[in-house]
Amino acid sequence: MSELAMEPLVRNAWYLAAWAHELDDGPIARKIMGEDLVLFRGGDGKAAALEDRCCHRGVKLSLGSIVETGLQCGYHGMVFDGGGACVGNPGERLNPSHRVNAFPAAERQKMIWVWTGDPETADESRIVDFPYPDLEGEWNFLYGRYEIAANYMFMIDNLMDLTHLGYVHLSTIGGHPDEQNIAELDTVRTERGAKYVRWMMNSTPPPAFVKAGGFDGPVDRWGEFEYVAPGTVLQWAGAHDAGTGGREDRNKPGGLVFRLLHQATPADEDSYHYFFASAVRGEPLDGAPNIAFHEANREAFLEDKLFIEAQQEAVSKAPERKLILREHDKAVAYSRQAIHRLQSTDVKQAAE
Ligand code: FES
Ligand SMILES: [Fe+2]
């Protein structure tokens, strides 16, 4: 079991590789788990992931275009289907040995997931379930992605200990540091990670909450966060005017109720894609609260990027040095235990 700050990658897992809408305008190139991939939706509309390298002369397939039968290489026009087989060889006969590597891919809930391990064990029922993007009308999501130069588990650490909010995010989603530090916290282990619920009763709403929720006094604020190894953090959160029964019924009408999905998908061991999607309950896509909240998150997550990349820079100078855990880090510790469990399954599978 690893006790290092930076964690090795877990290969046998599903990773969020793109938002579904990113494939609407043709193929995209994306490095996932050390693999240069091309992601596309073929003529049949099915999402696919291939190595981004044509078997003919090695050109990136992401420079190509979508045709009825698959992805056409931009150089000499060979066409590959979602399984990597060459199904078009202009001016020549098809040759079954002409193929590129394919990765299992699945599209669901407005996300494209890719399996980077043994294709035989790619079980779609293990893909994270986040139903809200399909519930348009109640939840209208805005999407973003940052490239962060750090090990993916630094993002999980960041989201599983929110005492950084009062310091890093004072002007956006934070709130008062003293109030953050005494938040009520209830943390449990889960089969695939960790979960906590956090309450800040009668607390100062941060600027983003005031903008999106229109609060003019203290609020009862909650955040429920669940880490699903290896790379997802789901968030159900919000606030109601203090003392109006939010604690008893979080999802009562009014207030500010939102959902967020955070995902750290490793590009490689030292960098990851930070995918994030947010929606404020009941708000149209272009409604001011939805936009204000998403913009505040975009800004806040850049603040995280600054700290996490600085952390990586310092840690990678001496990666063997251990870090410490504070009492607030219970969910961080549980999350690290969950990733260690997955790493050992990966190693076991490789040895079989
Ligand atoms: S390099 Fe792709 S068809 Fe020639
Ligand atoms: Fe943060």
Q: What is the pLDDT of residues 183-204, one digit of tens each?
A: 899 999 999 999 999 999 999 9
Partners of residue 194 on adjacent β-strands: 189, 227
Residue 350 — very low, low, confident or very high, per pLDDT cuts 50/70/90? confident
The mean pLDDT of 236-251, rounded to a whole number, is 97
Determine the residue of 38, 55, 63, 78 to mutate for testing ligand 1's pocket, defined as the one with the most ligand atoms within 8 A of the Cβ atom.
Answer: 78
Q: What is the pLDDT of residue 2?
A: 55
Q: What is the DSSP string of 270-328?
A: TEEEEEEEEEETT--TT-HHHHHHHHHHHHHHHHHHHHHHHHHHHHTTSTTS-----GG
Q: What is the pLDDT of residue 236?
A: 98
Closest-lying ligand 1 atom to the alpha carbon of residue 59: 1
Q: Amino acid identity, residue 234?
A: L
pLDDT digits (tens, 9 = 90+) for 43-68: 889 999 999 999 999 999 999 999 99
Percent above pLDDT 90 for the chain:
90
Q: What is the pLDDT of residue 234?
A: 98
Residue 235 — very low, low, confident or very high, per pLDDT cuts 50/70/90? very high
Q: How far is the CA of 301 from the centre of ligand 2 (A)?
A: 6
Closest ligand to 38 CA? 1
Q: What is the pLDDT of residue 349?
A: 79
Contact 128/264 with Cβ under 8 angstroms?
Answer: no
Closest-lying ligand 1 atom to the alpha carbon of residue 57: 1
> What residue's CA is closest to ligand 1, atom 1?
57
342 touches ligand 1 (CB under 6 Å): no
The mean pLDDT of 12-16, rounded to a whole number, is 97
Residue spans per domain, the chain: 14-126, 132-346
Main-chain dihedrals φ then ψ at residue 332, nearest 5 degrees: -65, -45
Nearest to 172 by CA among 302, 300, 304, 308: 300
Q: What is the pLDDT of residue 263?
A: 98
Q: What is the pLDDT of residue 80?
A: 98
pLDDT digits (tens, 9 = 90+) for 109-162: 999 999 999 999 999 999 999 999 999 989 999 999 999 999 999 999 999 999
Closest ligand to 260 CA? 2
Residue 166 — very low, low, confident or very high, per pLDDT cuts 50/70/90? confident
60 touches ligand 1 (CB under 6 Å): no
Q: What is the pLDDT of residue 1?
A: 43
Q: How far apart are CA 104 and CA 46, in angstroms?
A: 11
Q: Amino acid identity, residue 240?
A: H
Q: What's the pTM?
A: 0.96
**Which residues make up the environment of ion ligand 2, defined by Cβ < 5 Å?**
304
Phi-psi domain of 151 (left: phi exceeds 0; alpha: psi -120 through 50; beta: other): beta
Tokens of 181: 């530090």
Contact 176/204 with Cβ under 8 angstroms?
Answer: yes
76 touches ligand 1 (CB under 6 Å): yes
Residue 305 — very low, low, confident or very high, per pLDDT cuts 50/70/90? very high
Q: How far is the CA of 28 from the centre of ligand 1 (A)?
A: 17
Closest-lying ligand 1 atom to the alpha carbon of residue 77: 3
List the alpha helices (DSSP H) in 146-273. 153-160, 165-168, 177-181, 207-213
Q: Return the CATH fold of 14-126.
A: Rieske Iron-sulfur Protein (2.102.10)
54 touches ligand 1 (CB under 6 Å): yes
pLDDT digits (tens, 9 = 90+) for 247-299: 999 999 999 999 999 999 999 999 999 999 999 999 999 999 999 999 999 99
pLDDT digits (tens, 9 = 90+) for 65-115: 999 999 999 999 999 999 999 999 999 999 999 999 999 999 999 999 999
Q: Return the CATH fold of 132-346.
A: Naphthalene 1,2-dioxygenase Alpha Subunit; Chain A, domain 1 (3.90.380)
Closest-lying ligand 1 atom to the alpha carbon of residue 58: 1
Nearest to 235 by CA among 284, 178, 300: 300
> What residue's CA is closest to ligand 1, atom 4?
76
DSSP 3-state of 259: strand
Determine the residue of 52, 54, 98 to mutate for testing ligand 1's pocket, defined as the one with the most ligand atoms within 8 A of the Cβ atom.
Answer: 54
73 touches ligand 1 (CB under 6 Å): yes
pLDDT of 319 above 70: yes
Q: How far is the CA of 305 from the centre of ligand 2 (A)?
A: 8
